[in-house]
Amino acid sequence: MDSGKDRMRNADKRRAFSLIELLVVMVVIAILVAILVPTLGGARNTARAASTKAQLTDLANASQQFITDKGRQPGYFSARLMGDTANENRGFTAMQNVMLDLAGGIVTTSGAGTVEVGPTTSDTVRVDLTLIGTREAGGGYYTPDATRFIAQTGEGAGTLVGNSDHQALPSVVDAFGTPILAWQRDRTAIQPIEAEADFVKVNTSGTTPARFYWASNAGLLKTGTLGKRGKTALFTTATQEHSLLGDGATSLINNLVVLLGSPTVPGSRPNLPSAARADLLFHSAGIDALYMGSRDIGGRSGQVQFWQNFYADAGGSQRLLDGQGRVETVDVLSRFDDLIQTAGN
């Protein structure tokens, strides 16, 4: 009997793993996890980017139908009003303005579930939050999915810099949970583009209009908790991640020119566009959840230059050439992970 028990104990010992074998298995598992986790994360990001592209296309198609029907861009308030100095702190965004036309919700009386929104205290409209997308109060062009239409109140989302009514009015967000920006061209600006101020300004200060205004999206570009991931758009130091369009960013106006200027034909001077990319642009921050993020390939120098679309030098004397010596252009914006969709002309 004892010899039988000894044989069983010896067999159990032979079946057991040694410490070295266990360590080898653990190392192999750790290596597999290190390989698979980034791959799975990359696959998820790719899927989210594809979903966001489809969403931007839907917005552009809805806007194009609105333009066809109404003969104007979507947006209850004009681009000029959206760029008013007051809107830098009121925080009513261009996308919220566009959605007033595309998804509706405008009512004439106040009551439970209504908010009063607008770029200035004298330019406002009432919106019933429960009627947005129902076609009972305008709209009918774009019905937002509840998972992509989220109030930026800081409760599981970001924070919109502005008053409580603007915060309560939902923002369209992309598949990464970051609000999508809309950039609307001011069609009253018809003067030649001979200076950056002819093309883009922080706000409508001065007598001459610009094509675009930073203030129309200040509610999101001044926030320290942007979207679901709560990143800061603000510039603090060059080494801290930020948006090149965020409040305080170095060469903010020039960065906006890169985003909004057409990269196909050079302007009268190297750093000036000849025209806008389009009358209306929908702008997703992409994977990094920052509009033109400072850690994207294009943002690592701290600023971008519009002339880099066309020239090899700041003076504009050396045109870019391809491998066969032919003149070419590049889109500097393509060096960022941002996703852009245009609508209108």
Q: At 41, list the tokens.
A: 């994360």
pLDDT of res. 7: 57
On the question of pLDDT at 235 being above 80, the answer is: yes
Give 340's pLDDT tier (boundaries 50, 70, 90): very high
pLDDT of res. 20: 81
pLDDT of res. 41: 60
On the question of pLDDT at 304 being above 60, the answer is: yes
Q: What is the residue extent of each domain of the chain? A: 35-73+81-94+143-343
Out of 24-38, 133-147, 154-168, pick the least confident: 24-38
Which of the listed ranges 180-184, 247-251, 296-300 does the model predict with the highest average pLDDT? 180-184
Q: At 138, list the tokens.
A: 């305008």
Q: At 277, list the tokens.
A: 């990319």
pLDDT of res. 95: 98
pLDDT of res. 43: 84
On the question of pLDDT at 267 being above 70, the answer is: yes
On the question of pLDDT at 9 being above 80, the answer is: no
pLDDT of res. 24: 81
On the question of pLDDT at 49 being above 80, the answer is: yes
Tell me which of 29 and 67 has the higher pLDDT.
Answer: 67
